[in-house]
Amino acid sequence: MNKSKFSPEQIEIILSNSNVDKCSNKSITYSKEFKIKAVKQYNKEGKTSAQIFKEAGFNLTMLGKDVITGCLIRWRRIYKIEGNKGLKTEARGKGKGGGRPKEKWSTDEEKIKYLEAKVEYLKAENDFLAKLRAQKRE
């Protein structure tokens, strides 16, 4: 099963756009400046994602409407929380700072409290499952 999204010719076309940093057969990395500009155009000028990408020189058919809309939604969410800095350091995927955050505790007391609560929860879950199994046997 081929999961390629872009052909070598399409990759060449995409890379010729100054708003692109990198492109593979599966994904595009847009320049940080373009992300910031796109969010500001959407927020302040009321432009749609299609207008923004088209004016930036992208072939909308090649990229896909859902992709460009998804990019702008994600960039706007990051911009709202972290501002320009967030868009400049956006990282996605495993090993790049993305994904589910690890639990961090400021003190050992917090960690102990969390782990004790987790143990209590798991004990209650085990008791419930044991009762459920007992009912099935009857």
Q: pLDDT digits over 43-68, tens only? A: 999 999 999 999 999 998 888 888 88
Please indicate whether residue 1 or residue 76 has the higher confidence score (pLDDT): 76
* Cβ contacts of 134 within 8 Å, gap of 6 or more: none
The pLDDT tens digits of the residues spanning 75-108 come to 999 888 888 888 875 555 545 555 666 677 788 8
* pLDDT reported for residue 95: 52
Q: Does the pLDDT value for residue 138 go beyond 80?
A: no
* pLDDT reported for residue 1: 43
- Mean pLDDT for the chain? 85
Cα separation, 122 vs 116, in Å, equals 10
* pLDDT reported for residue 115: 92
Cα separation, 103 vs 96, in Å, equals 17
Is there a contact between 87 and 39 (Cβ–Cβ < 8 Å)? yes
Locate the DSSP E strands across the chain: 20-23, 28-30
What's the pTM value of the predicted model, to 2 decimals? Answer: 0.61
Please indicate whether residue 98 or residue 113 has the higher confidence score (pLDDT): 113
Q: Does the pLDDT value for residue 72 go beyond 80?
A: yes
In this prediction, what percent of the chain has a pLDDT beyond 90? 46
Place of tokens 């917090």: 110
Cα separation, 126 vs 87, in Å, equals 44
Range 45-48, long-range pairs (CB < 8 A, 24+ positions): none
